[in-house]
């Protein structure tokens, strides 16, 4: 099957109630829908919570180079590198640890820790990049290594003819369709149909649950199923997770 961006836009117009089901949206409506869909999809990448899938990618280091910009990378789940057939783990540290703690600079050897930060929109090789992550390595690599990045990445650039099924499962396409219908209602300052809001909330919750790592999900389930007298629960509730 094929589900194009223009089909999603048309369906969103129908669901919002602005377009009768027996007539196709005109050029102006398609343009408005396309603009709002791109903004809606970009907004979902702010928190990553509606991008539940992890992707593996590799980046080649350069001897003596500390930082690497990875276009499209939203968040990192794990980072390692290979020296031939040997894989080395990289420890993630905070910005304060990486840039403020005392250390000897300009050491070129096997990296053992890294810091990563999201960057604002930029241009890479003449191409505009909306989302990217910059990775800093310490030590600076002494030669070429292969970085193994497991993380969440932004979606591909879309056109009206883009087949979304090549990138997203059907339930994610349904989510974007409902999200666009809601944005169209907001665009025209009109109350959104309750069915759209209910379906959108239900899908969003399921996507968020899918986004939680198995380890964190086990922790959350543990906390929700045990009484407040448990010392581990009390310790957890003393952190930001517990409020």
Tens digits of per-residue pLDDT, 32-88?
999 999 988 888 776 666 666 788 999 999 999 999 999 989 889 999 999 989 999
- Residue 82's pLDDT is what? 92
Span 185-209, average pLDDT: 89
SS3 182: helix
Query: Are 79 and 156 in contact, with CB atoms under 8 Å apart?
Result: no
pLDDT at 95 over 80: yes
Calculate ∠ Cα 85-54-71, nearest 5°.
85
Other C-beta atoms closer than 10 Å to the C-beta of 87 total 11
Residue 70: CB partners within 8 Å, gap ≥ 6?
57, 59, 132, 133, 134, 135, 149
Whether the pTM exceeds 0.85: the reply is: no
SS3 31: helix
Query: Are 37 and 192 in contact, with CB atoms under 8 Å apart?
Result: no
Final residue before a domain boundary, out of 153, 173, 195: 153
- Residue 11's pLDDT is what? 93
Q: Where is average pLDDT lowest: 114-123, 152-161, 221-230?
A: 221-230
pLDDT at 224 over 60: no
Q: Which residues pair with 91 in a beta bridge?
A: 113
Q: Quick one: 139 and 164 in the same domain?
A: no
Nearest to 111 by CA among 143, 78, 74, 70: 143
Instruction: Grade residue 218 by pLDDT with cuts at 50, 70 and 90.
Output: very low
- Residue 123's pLDDT is what? 83
Q: Cα separation of 86 and 83, whole Å?
A: 5
Domain span at residue 24 reads 5-49+157-211
Q: Quick one: 148 and 161 in the same domain?
A: no
Q: Quick one: 12 and 40 in the same domain?
A: yes
| Structural domain count of the chain | 3
Q: Quick one: 33 and 59 in the same domain?
A: no
DSSP-based helix, strand, coil % in the chain, nearest 5: 40, 25, 35
């Amino acid at each position: 099957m094929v589900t194009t961006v223009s089909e999603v836009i048309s369906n969103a117009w129908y669901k919002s109630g602005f377009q009768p089901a027996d007539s196709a949206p005109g050029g102006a409506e398609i343009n408005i829908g396309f603009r709002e869909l791109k903004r809606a999809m970009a907004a979902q990448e702010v928190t990553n919570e509606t991008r539940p899938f992890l992707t593996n990618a590799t980046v080649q280091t350069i001897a003596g180079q500390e930082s690497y910009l990875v276009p499209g990378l939203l968040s990192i789940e794990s980072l390692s590198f290979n020296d031939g057939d040997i894989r080395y783990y990289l420890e993630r540290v905070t910005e304060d640890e990486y840039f403020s703690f005392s250390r000897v600079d300009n050491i070129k050897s096997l990296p053992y820790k890294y810091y990563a930060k999201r960057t604002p929109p930029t241009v890479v090789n003449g191409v505009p990049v909306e989302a990217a992550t910059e990775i800093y390595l310490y030590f600076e690599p002494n030669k070429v290594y292969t970085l193994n990045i497991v993380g969440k990445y932004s979606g591909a650039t879309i056109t009206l003819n883009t087949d979304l099924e090549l990138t997203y499962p059907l339930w994610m396409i349904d989510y974007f369709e409902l999200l666009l219908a809601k944005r169209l209602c907001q665009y025209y300052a009109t109350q959104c149909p309750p069915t759209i809001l209910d379906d959108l909330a239900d899908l969003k919750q399921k996507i968020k649950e899918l986004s939680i790592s198995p380890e964190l999900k086990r922790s959350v389930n543990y906390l929700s199923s045990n009484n407040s007298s448990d010392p581990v629960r009390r310790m957890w509730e003393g952190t930001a997770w517990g409020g």
